Amino acid sequence: MTLTFLVDMNLSPAWVGRLTREGWTAVHWSDVGDPRATDATVMNHARAHGQVVFTHDLDFGAILANTKAIGPSVLQVRAQDVTPEALGDLVAAAIRDHAVSLQSGALMTVDETTQRVRVLPIN
């Protein structure tokens, strides 16, 4: 299953390389949009392009919950060190484990010890 990720501004562009090495498509927001864009703009872009928003920002989950949206999927990492070197293997494993949910519409949270998936819409 091919997933495409839109890496948010609050994560390093190095994530693009890490995700593509795993076989997924990824682009950093700084390469496709205004770095000062609102979260809603990022979400709209991801929805229009069939992308999963990859972020460290809790606001994206809140947007999904408040709007009861069915997409786009959001993958959020919660850790002090959110670099690909620190979390790359965990994130890749979580994506592989939950690819179907991300393709269908989900909010996935990954940290150093757990991964949690909520199917959209969030009620």
Span 95-113, pLDDT tens digits: 999 999 999 999 999 999 9
- Asked whether 93 and 110 are in contact (CB, 8 A), the reply is no
Q: Is the pLDDT of residue 14 over 70?
A: yes
Q: Which positions ≥6 away from 42 have C-beta within 8 Å?
A: 6, 8, 29, 33, 53, 60
Q: Is the pLDDT of residue 1 over 80?
A: no
For the segment 53-57, the average pLDDT, to the nearest whole number, is: 97
Q: What's the total number of domains in the chain?
A: 1
- Print the domain residue range for 65: 4-119
> Which tokens go with 60?
């994206």
Pairing of strands 115-119, 4-7: unpaired
In this structure, the number of other CB atoms found within 10 A of the CB of residue 81 comes to 9
Q: Which percentage of the chain shows pLDDT scores above 90?
A: 98
- At 67-80, the pLDDT tens digits run 999 999 999 999 99
For residue 105, report the phi and psi dihedrals to the nearest 5 degrees: 130, 105
